[in-house]
Amino acid sequence: MKLFSFAGSLRLGSYNKMFAREALRLALESGVEGEFADMRDYRMPPYDADLETSSGIPESTRKLGQKIRTADALIIATPENNGSISGTLKNIVDWLSREQPVSLRGKHLLLLAASTGALGGVRGLWHARVPFEVLGMHVFPDMKGLPNAANAFNELGRLRDEQTLSQVKATVTAFVAHAAKG
Protein backbone atom coordinates (compact mmCIF):
# COMPACT_ATOMS: atom_id res chain seq x y z
CA MET A 1 0.00 0.00 0.00
CA LYS A 2 1.18 3.52 -0.82
CA LEU A 3 0.47 6.65 1.22
CA PHE A 4 0.68 10.27 0.14
CA SER A 5 0.82 13.04 2.69
CA PHE A 6 0.67 16.82 2.63
CA ALA A 7 -0.48 19.83 4.65
CA GLY A 8 -3.00 22.57 3.99
CA SER A 9 -0.43 25.26 4.80
CA LEU A 10 2.18 26.94 2.64
CA ARG A 11 4.17 28.41 5.56
CA LEU A 12 7.83 27.38 5.64
CA GLY A 13 7.77 26.51 9.36
CA SER A 14 4.26 25.03 9.24
CA TYR A 15 3.31 22.83 12.20
CA ASN A 16 0.83 21.04 9.97
CA LYS A 17 3.65 20.06 7.62
CA MET A 18 5.52 18.71 10.65
CA PHE A 19 2.43 16.82 11.78
CA ALA A 20 1.79 15.37 8.32
CA ARG A 21 5.44 14.25 8.07
CA GLU A 22 5.43 12.78 11.57
CA ALA A 23 2.18 10.88 10.93
CA LEU A 24 3.63 9.53 7.68
CA ARG A 25 6.82 8.45 9.48
CA LEU A 26 4.71 6.57 12.03
CA ALA A 27 2.65 4.98 9.26
CA LEU A 28 5.79 3.80 7.46
CA GLU A 29 6.67 1.82 10.60
CA SER A 30 3.74 -0.44 9.57
CA GLY A 31 5.71 -1.40 6.47
CA VAL A 32 3.81 0.64 3.89
CA GLU A 33 5.35 2.97 1.31
CA GLY A 34 4.78 6.71 1.39
CA GLU A 35 5.76 10.16 0.27
CA PHE A 36 5.30 13.69 1.66
CA ALA A 37 4.83 16.71 -0.59
CA ASP A 38 5.12 20.40 0.26
CA MET A 39 2.33 22.44 -1.32
CA ARG A 40 4.85 25.26 -1.93
CA ASP A 41 5.97 22.98 -4.79
CA TYR A 42 2.38 22.81 -6.12
CA ARG A 43 1.30 26.43 -5.92
CA MET A 44 -2.11 27.13 -7.44
CA PRO A 45 -3.80 30.46 -8.14
CA PRO A 46 -7.13 31.17 -6.44
CA TYR A 47 -9.78 29.20 -8.33
CA ASP A 48 -11.21 31.32 -11.14
CA ALA A 49 -13.52 29.76 -13.76
CA ASP A 50 -12.44 32.36 -16.32
CA LEU A 51 -8.79 31.39 -15.78
CA GLU A 52 -9.74 27.74 -16.18
CA THR A 53 -11.55 28.56 -19.45
CA SER A 54 -8.65 30.58 -20.83
CA SER A 55 -5.66 28.58 -19.51
CA GLY A 56 -7.06 25.22 -18.36
CA ILE A 57 -6.26 23.39 -15.15
CA PRO A 58 -2.86 24.50 -13.75
CA GLU A 59 0.13 22.22 -14.31
CA SER A 60 0.64 22.14 -10.51
CA THR A 61 -2.89 20.71 -10.08
CA ARG A 62 -2.26 18.06 -12.74
CA LYS A 63 1.06 17.10 -11.12
CA LEU A 64 -0.60 16.81 -7.70
CA GLY A 65 -3.48 14.82 -9.18
CA GLN A 66 -0.93 12.41 -10.68
CA LYS A 67 0.73 11.92 -7.27
CA ILE A 68 -2.67 11.25 -5.67
CA ARG A 69 -3.56 8.75 -8.40
CA THR A 70 -0.50 6.64 -7.58
CA ALA A 71 -1.44 6.49 -3.87
CA ASP A 72 -3.99 4.29 -2.13
CA ALA A 73 -4.50 6.54 0.86
CA LEU A 74 -3.81 10.12 1.94
CA ILE A 75 -2.85 11.75 5.23
CA ILE A 76 -3.61 15.47 5.25
CA ALA A 77 -2.93 17.85 8.13
CA THR A 78 -4.71 21.18 7.90
CA PRO A 79 -4.68 24.38 9.91
CA GLU A 80 -8.01 25.50 11.35
CA ASN A 81 -8.66 29.01 10.09
CA ASN A 82 -11.50 30.87 11.79
CA GLY A 83 -13.06 27.61 12.90
CA SER A 84 -12.99 26.00 9.46
CA ILE A 85 -10.84 24.46 6.70
CA SER A 86 -7.82 26.49 5.59
CA GLY A 87 -8.35 28.50 2.42
CA THR A 88 -5.16 26.99 1.03
CA LEU A 89 -6.51 23.44 1.34
CA LYS A 90 -9.98 24.31 0.05
CA ASN A 91 -8.45 25.96 -3.02
CA ILE A 92 -6.34 22.86 -3.71
CA VAL A 93 -9.43 20.65 -3.39
CA ASP A 94 -11.49 22.90 -5.67
CA TRP A 95 -8.83 22.80 -8.40
CA LEU A 96 -8.38 19.02 -8.00
CA SER A 97 -12.14 18.57 -8.38
CA ARG A 98 -11.97 20.06 -11.90
CA GLU A 99 -9.90 17.14 -13.25
CA GLN A 100 -11.84 14.21 -14.71
CA PRO A 101 -11.78 11.63 -13.32
CA VAL A 102 -11.21 13.25 -9.92
CA SER A 103 -7.97 11.83 -8.48
CA LEU A 104 -9.29 11.90 -4.91
CA ARG A 105 -12.33 9.71 -5.58
CA GLY A 106 -12.25 6.32 -3.84
CA LYS A 107 -9.08 7.06 -1.85
CA HIS A 108 -8.87 6.67 1.91
CA LEU A 109 -8.13 9.82 3.91
CA LEU A 110 -6.92 10.49 7.43
CA LEU A 111 -7.46 14.10 8.51
CA LEU A 112 -5.21 15.76 11.09
CA ALA A 113 -4.85 19.29 12.40
CA ALA A 114 -2.13 21.14 14.29
CA SER A 115 -2.86 24.43 15.97
CA THR A 116 -1.04 26.87 18.17
CA GLY A 117 -4.28 27.04 20.17
CA ALA A 118 -5.54 24.80 22.95
CA LEU A 119 -8.23 22.99 20.93
CA GLY A 120 -5.89 21.53 18.32
CA GLY A 121 -7.92 22.64 15.30
CA VAL A 122 -10.57 19.93 15.70
CA ARG A 123 -13.46 22.29 14.88
CA GLY A 124 -11.95 22.87 11.44
CA LEU A 125 -11.64 19.14 10.85
CA TRP A 126 -15.42 18.68 10.86
CA HIS A 127 -15.60 21.24 8.04
CA ALA A 128 -12.60 19.73 6.26
CA ARG A 129 -14.37 16.34 5.98
CA VAL A 130 -17.18 17.76 3.86
CA PRO A 131 -15.52 18.54 0.48
CA PHE A 132 -13.55 15.28 0.62
CA GLU A 133 -16.69 13.26 1.30
CA VAL A 134 -18.54 15.12 -1.45
CA LEU A 135 -15.73 14.07 -3.81
CA GLY A 136 -16.16 10.39 -2.90
CA MET A 137 -13.25 9.87 -0.52
CA HIS A 138 -13.44 7.40 2.36
CA VAL A 139 -12.70 9.76 5.24
CA PHE A 140 -11.53 7.83 8.31
CA PRO A 141 -13.96 8.38 11.23
CA ASP A 142 -11.15 9.16 13.70
CA MET A 143 -9.39 12.50 13.35
CA LYS A 144 -6.64 13.95 15.49
CA GLY A 145 -6.04 17.54 16.55
CA LEU A 146 -2.68 18.59 17.98
CA PRO A 147 -2.93 21.54 20.42
CA ASN A 148 -0.07 23.89 21.37
CA ALA A 149 1.77 22.83 18.24
CA ALA A 150 4.52 25.42 18.67
CA ASN A 151 5.92 23.32 21.52
CA ALA A 152 4.93 19.87 20.27
CA PHE A 153 7.93 18.96 18.08
CA ASN A 154 11.63 18.54 18.82
CA GLU A 155 14.42 19.73 16.50
CA LEU A 156 14.08 16.54 14.41
CA GLY A 157 10.37 17.19 13.89
CA ARG A 158 9.37 14.33 16.20
CA LEU A 159 6.51 14.65 18.67
CA ARG A 160 8.02 15.33 22.10
CA ASP A 161 5.22 14.05 24.33
CA GLU A 162 5.19 10.24 24.68
CA GLN A 163 1.45 10.04 25.30
CA THR A 164 0.65 12.20 22.25
CA LEU A 165 3.08 10.14 20.18
CA SER A 166 1.42 6.87 21.14
CA GLN A 167 -2.07 8.30 20.51
CA VAL A 168 -1.07 9.52 17.03
CA LYS A 169 0.66 6.21 16.32
CA ALA A 170 -2.50 4.31 17.33
CA THR A 171 -4.69 6.47 15.06
CA VAL A 172 -2.29 6.16 12.11
CA THR A 173 -1.88 2.39 12.58
CA ALA A 174 -5.66 1.90 12.71
CA PHE A 175 -6.03 4.03 9.58
CA VAL A 176 -3.41 2.03 7.66
CA ALA A 177 -5.08 -1.26 8.68
CA HIS A 178 -8.48 0.08 7.60
CA ALA A 179 -7.19 1.44 4.28
CA ALA A 180 -5.36 -1.81 3.53
CA LYS A 181 -8.73 -3.63 3.43
CA GLY A 182 -9.44 -1.69 0.23
CA 7, CA 113: separation in Å to the nearest integer? 9
Kindly tell me which residue out of 3, 4, 5, 16 binds ligand FMN, with binding defined by CB under 6 A.
Answer: 16
Q: Which is nearer to ligand FMN, 56 or 83 (CB)?
A: 83
Which residues, numbered 81-100, are part of the site for ligand FMN (CB under 6 A)? Answer: 81-83
If we measure between CA atoms, which residue out of 9, 146, 163 comes closest to residue 85?
A: 9
Which of 30, 94, 23, 32 is closest to 58 using CA atoms? 94
For ligand FMN, the binding residue among 3, 6, 9, 146 (CB under 6 A) is: 9
CA-wise closest residue to 115 among 81, 67, 155, 66? 81
| Subset of 17-76 contacting ligand FMN (CB under 6 A) | none
Which of 80, 140, 159, 176 contacts ligand FMN by CB under 6 A? 80
Interface with ligand FMN (CB under 6 A):
7, 9, 11, 14-16, 79-83, 114-117, 119, 121, 149
